[in-house]
Structure 1
Amino acid sequence: MTVLEKPIVYVVIPFDGRENKYETYMENLQRIKRKEWKIQTIVVQHDGNISPFSRAFLLNIGIREVLKRRSVKCIATLNLDVSVPPNVDFFMCDKPKEVCGDLTCINHVDGVYVSSANIVLASAEHWEVVNGYTNKASKKEDVRANLYHRFKASGLIRSHEKLTDLANKKSCKCIDQNADERKKKTKQIMYHSDDSNEWKTDGLTNTKYCIDKSYTDKFGSTRLKINSTLKLSNSEMAMIKRPLYTSAIVLLKYKLIFFWSEKSGCTYWKRIFQYIQGIKMIMTEENAHHAFKNGLFTITHFKDSEVLSVMNNDSWTKVAFVREPRERILSSFLDKGLDDHFMKYFCKKKVKSLSEFIKLIKTCKDRHWESQVRLPRCFYNHITIGYMSDIKSFTMLLLKKVGAWNDNVEKWLQSKNVSIATRPHARNAKEKILKYYTRELEQDIFDMYADEYDVFHFEKKLFHS
């Protein structure tokens, strides 16, 4: 018999500190939850007193955190002031829709003006298409704060179509009994169309934050306490800049900062960066990796103030390129672990098996098996992550993004000599995992590199069942 997994609905709640309202809403959410649903709630709040309360910004953070999860279908953004009726189906998100109709506690125009105070249900793909909410508009009266404009401009709804089917709209109730009096004193907001394309760059793609604390509350919700200011301590600055031979590569012409790791295609990338910058030299190991000979500019040449500036500058593309830890460690073993001279020199001991190698590298430190998490964790929320498993497609996407892709580059990448020269350490690691690993060794890697599985969202799935 096939056992079907429960559909997951992620509920994102921006929290403004009112615990009594939160408790009331969570109790209501449990009542409308259906048995066949698996609801996971993410509550996002500022760490400390932030004024004014930035609901849209917190919703964007929640949506970004949801999009990191795998197999996400629906995301519902909810307002703590509103009680959703039990007949709302959170799993019907094939088309973006506004869940509630007339409301007394927010300035509401059915399906036409949709601010962060409204309750919207859409698929994960929809949220990515519209780029979430605005981060720039401080007030919901600002036309940029209208989510309806984003859905319309992106083509997810037709030009004169409303976001909700008024014939089937749900009647939501306000938790705050004094809302009616407040509405009498407020001016209703109407939508004015504009042709702004600012939504393409203002939203999920430029939401900057650090998660200061994450924990599970008594309702089972994941609580995220965030800080919107990206700062660097002296130790974090040293972590980013690193020693010269392992420092991130900077391409000034293309405004690209590339964080790389040994045994994760680094030779390949260094060759590409040499080529697109016109650095001509014979393809040898030394010419690729020798920091004084490869002609590549690194982030160590920046002043600390310049590093902080570019890391917070949206016009710069920041990339970290990584490899699945089991594949990377096996590649390190096949290339370095079986090199007796290398192991004797750096670890004072030779190894004969992957098991011996994994045991030894727990105490023998070297950059070839050092963790690939080489930035303060919160910075990974704001940079692009590339994966070895998608290296070919990622190469084209990245070079196109920074303006370095052309016919000559494409032909150069396809040439046989370049392919051979840029992958001197390729050992078909993935195909050999089953041969070299045991279930216990796989679990060792899960434990040793837990930070990588967490930060880069690698799947902890055993090859040996």
Structure 2
Amino acid sequence: DEREDEDEDEDEDEEDYSDVEEEDLGVEYVGFCGAKIHEEIPDHRKTNVPLHSSFYVYKKGRWDGAPVVVEEARLIFFTVPEIASTTFKQLFRRMMGFDDWHVSNSDMPHDPSTNGLRYLYDYDLEEAGNMLVSDDWVKAIFVRDPKERILDSYLTRVLGEEANFIRKKCCEDNGVCADKAMESFLGFMKVANACCNSHWMPQTWRMEGRFWPFVDFVGRIDNAADDAKRMLELVGKWNEYGESGWGENGDMPIFGSDYEDNLAQAYEVMADYYDDETEAFAESMYDKDYNNPYLGLDLVKVMKVDGGEEDSDRKLIRSTTTTTRTTTTTTTTTTNNGLGRSLESAKELIRSLVDERMDSYVN
């Protein structure tokens, strides 16, 4: 996944629960994060689906609140932090004709005030509401296994290049909170669970529940190359913007082969960090994601491997699901493969993955 920075203005909207006692930094506080977003998810498209100005999908100021609108492609795309949002925003800037579409720094391509992208809030409320439920627009999102996503956040924002992120966003001057977040992966998850931030909040809360049935395309980041191609073909833009122009020499398709190779290695790193306790916590923290039928996320266990160099070796059995929805059909494709690695090589890989973020795949 890519390096992400949050807009400073976003802090004003995100609740701070850093004064919660150490022993209280637990699962029961996960509800705070989505209190204003969460609502029951219908199992069908309703006819009366109002959009309100206070909704998360219409909120101005957040870097990943309102979805990006690409008028040329009739595409509404919900970016999600830790799910290649840098690459997708670069793609949309390219589609909109910006010569510097490939630039990536602390602001670009994320800051809505400078990136030139159009967002849902750029349309009046009535028009925006109609767009979200119209068959004339393709609504798309890419998702990721929550266990992989929260670990990626930990590797970047505790062990990696943004080590002060959670201290700044969640703990401020609270030493207990900061110490808890820095002491272990489980400690980080407990603090993250009590601190509302888009980098780790459940993907289910990416939009109000009423809009999930209107999402036409749900891609998986662990199948990024194929799914991005399918999405761009769906809107008739693959040959022009996806097939080439990417990579160091500009001769690769979006999400070239090395991207998924590195993701596969990242999955294997999970063996170092997930034991029964951390896995149970993550599953509880993200139960809404695993139970959201529109996300298509299987609850995949990080399983121990008998024998090997280390008794604690574990492997992840992957299950990849891509869903494309239209008004008449639903198509689901599933592939499985097994992955495993030694703990010794995993530690070296972690360091390289933190240093070589996914931005390196864009020229």
What TM-score do you get using the length of structure 1 for normalisation? 0.48
How big is each residue's C-alpha offset from its partner over 1:317-376, in whole Å with a ceiling of 9 and x where there is no partner?
001221110110011111112333223211221514211111111212221112212223
Distance verdict in 2 for CA 1:211–1:362, change over 3 Å: closer
Partner of 1:343: 166
Q: Which residue of 1 aligns with 2:274?
A: 437
**5 Å matches for 1:102-181?**
none
Matched, 1:452 2:289: yes
CA deviation vs aligned residue, 1:262-281 (integer Å, no higher than 9, x gap): 00110110111111221122
Long gaps (5+) in structure 2: 1-39, 172-177, 305-363
Structure 1 residue 231 displacement after superposition: 1.4
Counterpart code for 2:224: I
Q: Is the 8 A contact 2:84 2:221 kept in 1?
A: yes
Aligned mates of 1:230, 1:273 — CA distance in 2: 30
| Matched position secondary structure for 1:234 | coil
Contact kept? 1:249, 1:259, Cα under 8 Å: yes
Cα distance, 1:301–1:233 mapped onto 2, change above 3 Å: closer
1:388 aligns with 2:225: no
Matches within 5 A, 1:278-317: 278-281=97-100, 283-285=103-105, 286-317=107-138
Per-residue deviation, residues 179-223 of structure 1 (Å, max 9, x unmatched): xxxxxxxxxxxxxxxxxxxxxxxxxxxxxxx965xxxxxxxxxxx
Residues 443 and 323 (structure 1), Cα distance of their counterparts in 2 relative to 1, 3 Å cut: same
Per-residue deviation, residues 392-447 of structure 1 (Å, max 9, x unmatched): 11111111111212166412135556879998xx7753121111111221121111
Partner SS, residue 361 of structure 1: helix
SS of residue paired to 1:364: coil
Q: Distance in 2 between matches of 1:361 and 1:269?
A: 25
Q: Find the aligned partners of 1:322 and 1:267 in 2 and give their Cα distance.
A: 14
Q: Partner letter of residue 229 of structure 1?
A: T
The one-character-per-residue Cα deviations of 1:142-173 (angstroms, maximum 9, x if unpaired) are: xxxxxxxxxxxxxxxxxxxxxxxxxxxxxxxx
**Higher RCO (CA-CA < 8 Å; seq separation 6+):** 2
The answer to whether residue 63 in structure 2 is matched with residue 240 in structure 1 is: no
CA distance in 2, matches of 1:376, 1:306: 17
Match for residue 401 of structure 1?
234
Q: 1:459 to 1:346 in 2, by over 3 A?
A: same
TM-score, normalised to structure 2, is: 0.60
Helix, strand or coil at the partner of 1:347: helix
Residue in structure 2 matching 1:376, options 199, 205, 208: 208
| Cα pair 1:211 1:227 within 8 Å, conserved | no
1:332 aligns to what? 153
Q: Classify the secondary structure of the residue corresponding to 1:289.
A: coil
Match of 1:152 in 2: none
Q: Aligned with 1:294: secondary structure? A: coil
Kept after mapping to 2: 8 A contact 1:439/1:462: no
Q: What is the alpha-carbon distance in structure 1 between the residues aligned to residue 208 and residue 193 of structure 2?
A: 22
**Are 1:357 and 2:188 an aligned pair?**
yes
Give the secondary structure class of the aligned counterpart of 1:293.
Answer: coil
Contact map agreement 1:230 1:312 (CA 8 A) in 2: no
CA contact (8 A) 1:274 1:295 kept: yes
Q: Which runs of 5+ in 1 are unaligned?
A: 1-209, 213-223
User: Percent identity between the aligned chains?
Assistant: 24
Alpha-carbon distance, 1:284 to partner? 2.0
1:330–1:429 Cα contact (<8 Å) kept = no
Matching residue of 2:300: 461
Structure 1 Cα separation of the partners of residues 199 and 129 of structure 2: 27
Structure with larger Rg: 1
